[in-house]
């Protein structure tokens, strides 16, 4: 076990927490490090080739424009689309806003209803709330206990005035993969545009916009070892989907997203997509093996460990676990040497249990003990083994202090206890 920390030992101290070095990083759903090869591709566009890609009169503009168009092809190749269907944005949040608000505003005369799920990312749910305030109808579909959508419920929810179905591909908190092809098929039959937030799926699972019949798709750079602040929106051309732009300006990106396109970021995003295409299969095999090592390592030593979300239909790099009879915040605090989270980075400031886990019907006490381990391209076996060792140690320590765990070991059914009110 690590030595007790002395105040005078060199180390890292931040927010009142002192540790001997930087923690090992297992929070890949929040963000990923930039791949060094991506940074290499980006640097020239910060230093010598700094032109504005929209400058039409000189070499600086032309070379930047060429680099942007080349990146557009790299992004579209990864999802089997045409480069003309890619709009560069600041990230998946912006792409989700353009998709949800933009489509419903454009077709507002005829279409007044939108369908999404209760486990979507906050920015989709918030865009839907915004539309509700404007008088649109929103159906928030529940999910099954494994986190997957019931396709019959989706079909039943579609109405003649449904303007959009928005369902995320890979969930950011629990990593479950929704049945995209089946959803796409239902949307095609019913003639409703299908939007998906694929920020957590891009470069990790095979995506084909034709097979999945996707009309709009939100993509992000920093989840696939690219830079932060860049993303894209895939917009189908045949049959054509129209949106109302959310940003007014110089009409860049086909008028959908005005503002100077940031060449270095776009080049980095394109490069990250090309690397993902080449290495997806290798990464997936490696990450799957590391995920098994992590789960088996923890389960060999402690009981009462539950995997949240479907075990079969999930992305291997996301392992969301609940530990019975342990308070989640105490566990996170005790795991200072491992950078993990208890849910999405966007909502990690609130002490409410995750709304995604609540939607799965997870008990409030178990929802509070969830930890999300995010494994990525650069995660090593040593890091996994250390994470197992620290997690097991911390869970055992907290359970030793837990009177509830004592009672359970003695065979008392906690749920049947009538706690008296004082």
- Whether the predicted pLDDT of 33 surpasses 60: yes
| Residue 117 contacts residue 141 (beta carbons within 8 Å) | yes
| Residue 173 contacts residue 373 (beta carbons within 8 Å) | no
Is 346 in the active site? Answer: yes
| Residue 54 contacts residue 260 (beta carbons within 8 Å) | yes
Residue 167 makes CB contacts below 8 A (sequence gap 6+) with 116, 117, 120, 149, 154, 178, 183, 194, 195, 196
Q: How far apart are the first and last CA of the chain?
A: 41
The residues with which 176 forms a beta bridge, in sequence order, are: 314
The confidence score (pLDDT) of residue 16 equals 81
111-139: pLDDT as tens digits: 999 999 999 999 999 999 999 999 999 99
pLDDT band at 408 (very low <50, low <70, confident <90, very high): confident
pLDDT band at 419 (very low <50, low <70, confident <90, very high): confident
42-81: pLDDT as tens digits: 999 999 999 999 999 999 999 999 999 999 999 999 999 9
Query: pTM score, two decimals?
Result: 0.94
- Tell the residue number behind the tokens 């966007």, with chain if given: 346
The confidence score (pLDDT) of residue 404 equals 86
User: Which residue in 123, 128, 273, 346 is the catalytic one?
Assistant: 346
- Whether the predicted pLDDT of 2 surpasses 80: no
CA dist 241 and 237 (Å) reads 6
Give the residue from 395, 373, 176, 368 showing the smallest Cα distance to 294. Answer: 373
291-318: pLDDT as tens digits: 999 999 999 999 999 999 999 999 999 9
- Other Cβ atoms less than 10 A from the Cβ of 416: the count is 6
Q: Residue 13: phi, psi to the nearest 5?
A: -130, 120
pLDDT band at 350 (very low <50, low <70, confident <90, very high): low
């Amino acid at each position: 076990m690590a030595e007790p920390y002395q105040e005078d030992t060199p180390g890292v101290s931040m927010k009142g927490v002192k540790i001997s070095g930087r923690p090992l990083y297992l929070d890949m759903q929040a963000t990923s490090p930039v791949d060094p090869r991506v940074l290499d591709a980006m640097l020239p566009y910060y230093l010598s080739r700094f032109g504005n890609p929209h400058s039409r009169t000189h070499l600086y503009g032309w070379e930047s424009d060429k680099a942007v168009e080349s990146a557009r092809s790299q992004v579209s190749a990864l999802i089997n689309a045409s480069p003309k269907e890619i709009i560069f944005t600041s990230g998946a949040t912006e792409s989700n806003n353009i998709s949800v608000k933009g489509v419903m505003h454009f077709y507002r005369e005829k279409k007044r209803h939108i369908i999404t799920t209760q486990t979507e990312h906050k920015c989709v749910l918030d865009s839907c709330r915004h539309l509700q305030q404007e008088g649109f109808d929103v159906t928030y579909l529940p999910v099954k206990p494994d986190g997957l959508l019931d396709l019959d419920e989706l079909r039943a929810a579609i109405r003649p005035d449904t303007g959009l179905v928005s369902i995320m591909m890979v969930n950011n908190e629990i990593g479950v993969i929704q049945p995209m092809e089946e959803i796409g098929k239902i949307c095609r039959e019913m003639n409703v545009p299908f939007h998906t937030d694929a920020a957590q799926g891009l470069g990790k699972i095979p995506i084909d916009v034709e097979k999945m019949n996707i009309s709009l798709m939100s993509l992000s750079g920093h989840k696939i070892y690219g830079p932060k602040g860049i993303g894209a929106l895939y917009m189908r051309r045949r049959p054509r989907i129209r949106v109302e732009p959310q940003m007014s300006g110089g009409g860049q990106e086909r008028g959908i997203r005005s503002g100077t396109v940031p060449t270095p970021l776009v080049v980095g995003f394109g490069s990250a997509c090309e690397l993902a295409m080449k290495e997806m299969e290798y990464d997936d095999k490696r990450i799957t093996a590391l995920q098994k090592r992590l789960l088996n390592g923890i389960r060999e030593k402690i009981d009462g460990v539950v995997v949240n979300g479907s075990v079969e239909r999930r992305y291997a790099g996301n392992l969301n676990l609940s530990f019975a009879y342990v308070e989640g915040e105490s566990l996170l605090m005790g795991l200072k040497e491992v950078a993990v989270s208890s849910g999405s980075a966007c909502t990690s400031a609130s002490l409410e249990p995750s709304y995604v886990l609540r939607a799965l019907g997870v008990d409030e006490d178990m929802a509070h003990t969830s930890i999300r381990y995010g494994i990525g391209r650069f995660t090593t076996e040593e890091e996994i083994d250390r994470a197992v060792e620290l997690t097991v140690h911390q869970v055992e320590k907290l359970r030793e202090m837990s009177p509830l765990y004592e009672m359970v070991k003695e065979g008392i059914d906690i749920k049947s206890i009538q706690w008296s009110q004082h």
